[in-house]
Amino acid sequence: MRLLVSGNGVTDGQGIGTIADDDPAPTIGVSDATPATEGATVGFALTLNKPSGRDLSVAFATADGSAVAGQDYTARSGRITIPAGATSAGVGVPLLDDSADEPDERFELRLSAPSAVALGDAAGAAAIVDNDAPAPGPGGSSPTGPPGGSGSGSGSGQPPPLTGSGNRGLPLLGVSSPRLRRPSTVLVTLSCPTQAGSCSGRVTLFSRPSKRSKIKALRKERRLGRKSFNLTGGRTRTLRMTLSRRDRALLQRAGRMRVRLYVTTTDSAGQTGVRRVNGTLVARTRHSG
């Protein structure tokens, strides 16, 4: 603001005043995306709670959940600018199409490094819906029951077969439920059948989200650990995954944590498959047996 004054005896007829903006900065957040099938593009919406008189910007990057960048979707990162007066922007993430029958998978888009704007909900989740039919079982029939459920291997104490992308289900890969070895080591036992020749792949451990949890961090899926394996047919191996300090603290606060293993594996013939196994980690105290 400028004030002009004129008249006899005036030596400086101009004054400049500054109006300080005392309005809080707008807040930006990213919402969960609408689920999309393999091969499509997931769209994340970034929105402001109110318009601004200046350009705003924020950094974004995808983050693996049960879905893995390069295998299930194309990783994206960068910086997006929302022009003055606008209240929204979008980020698209291409999904990859494979031929494996697998559970629906998730990943996130996370915001960081805001400029002239405050962060609200800084993470949005996306679900990838599988579009592949289950591999036929022996005699051409489709396998029954969901992976990890009671419809397969019922009463035998064995996990259900791992269904693959080839012309048959992969030989049975033994996968135990995850168990906690105090204070922060999670154990998972794998058994590769002789007829598979070999089994190689990766085990990823996630918390299972609970919207009723009193702990905000457990209301969304969290990746707790990841481990690769390579087994000769007929051999058994126990994998060890160590919880981070933060995840161990969450487990201690919650008392117990529902978890899910996602196991991807390839046999000696090159056929791949995915299965999942549920479990619960129970925090142990010094008084636990």
Average pLDDT over residues 48-56: 92
**Least confident among 31-35, 68-72, 98-102, 153-157:** 153-157
**6-24 per-position pLDDT tens digit:** 666 656 657 666 655 556 8
Instruction: Give yes or no for residue 271 having a pLDDT over 50.
Output: yes
CATH number for the domain whose boundaries are 161-282: 2.60.40.2550
> What pLDDT score does 13 carry?
59
What are the sequence ranges of the domains in the chain? 27-129, 161-282
Domain pair 27-129 / 161-282, same fold = yes
Q: Report how far residue 229's alpha carbon sits from residue 239's, in angstroms, rounded to the nearest whole number.
A: 8
Are the CB atoms for 203 and 259 separated by under 8 Å? no
DSSP string, 191-220: E--GGGSEEEEEEEEEEPP-TT-SSGGGSS
Band of residue 35 on the pLDDT scale cut at 50, 70, 90: confident
CATH 2.60.40.2030 corresponds to the domain 27-129: yes
**158-212 per-position pLDDT tens digit:** 333 333 333 234 556 788 889 988 788 999 998 888 888 888 888 889 988 887 7
> What pLDDT score does 208 carry?
85
Average pLDDT over residues 142-171: 38
Q: Report how far residue 6's alpha carbon sits from residue 77's, in angstroms, rounded to the nearest whole number.
A: 57
DSSP string, 103-134: --EEEEEEEEEEESSEESS-EEEEEEEP--PP
**Least confident among 54-68, 131-145, 200-214, 271-285:** 131-145
Band of residue 112 on the pLDDT scale cut at 50, 70, 90: very high
Identity (one letter) of the amino acid at 146? P
- The average confidence (pLDDT) of the chain is 78
Are the CB atoms for 135 and 101 separated by under 8 Å? yes
> What pLDDT score does 177 carry?
86
Q: In this structure, what DSSP letter does residue 140 have?
A: G
Does the pTM of the predicted model rise above 0.75? no
Buried b (16+ CB within 10 A) or exposed e, 62-101: bebbbbbeeebbeeeeeeeebeeeeeebebebebeebebb
